[in-house]
Structure 1
């Protein structure tokens, strides 16, 4: 579901291209693995108004950003 910090429509093309037909737990596991490989934990990478889309493009964030990007 969309929220102030997460705009899923921004990922409608990326998710099927990257993860194919996966769903449920298999999809979440692959997404978490992708984030682990491609993101950098950086205390200065985000602020209170940073969205999941911002974090995705920056490939960096803090714990809140990692949580947003796996939803």
Structure 2
């Protein structure tokens, strides 16, 4: 799984950080998403997918790798 974020779309709601703090962070100055792990371990896949669903700005999406669900 590859995680992609669009900082220009981000509205700094922080839902991604609440869902997957190992993968997402926020900039101190404005709360915009910061990607900590572009290719997170499979054990975090459900949390990352939840972050995608919860993002109100649809600023996060995934590219599933071959063989992943």
TM-score, L = length of structure 1: 0.24
Q: Between the two structures, name the one with larger relative contact order (CA 8 Å, sep ≥ 6).
A: 2
Query: Would you tell me which structure has more helix in proportion to its own residues?
Result: 1
- The structure where strand makes up a greater share of residues is 2
- The structure with the larger Rg is 1
User: What TM-score results when the alignment is normalised by the length of structure 2?
Assistant: 0.25
